[in-house]
Amino acid sequence: MVQLHLDDHREGWKEDIYFILHYKNTDIEVVLKKIRDKETSSKVYHNPFIKKWKLLSINEEDIKDLDYDEVIAVLKEVLQAYGVGDLDENFNNPNYKDIVVPKKNIQVTLEV
């Protein structure tokens, strides 16, 4: 899955995040939003580190030949693997030991 871009916050940034999910030789445009509430984590030392996503849209034209529920299941797996982006990619680098969240501590949910 590839993150395309973020809107510029100076121009009314909505925190919508556009991804391209490549699945079964199909590029699927997915728009997600990070949910920030009292249950989500705000500090890297939280264990578990909880991150929530809300599915805003999937380009229906992209998934016309695919099973919607299967695409959602794959999207959930991808988000779990994606974790929290930069916070967990340097887990084995000692220079980042204080700002890294181990994958085993990450909980990701997707609201559909």
Instruction: Work out the percent of the chain whose per-residue pLDDT is above 90.
Output: 27
Q: Map out the domains of the chain as residue ranges.
A: 2-111
Distances (CA, A) of 112 to 17, 34, 89: 15, 13, 26
Model pTM greater than 0.95?
no
Q: Is the pLDDT of residue 2 over 80?
A: no
Decide if pLDDT at 3 tops 70: no
| pLDDT tens-digit readout, 74-95 | 998 888 876 555 444 555 556 6
pLDDT in tens, 34-66: 888 888 887 767 788 788 889 999 999 999 989
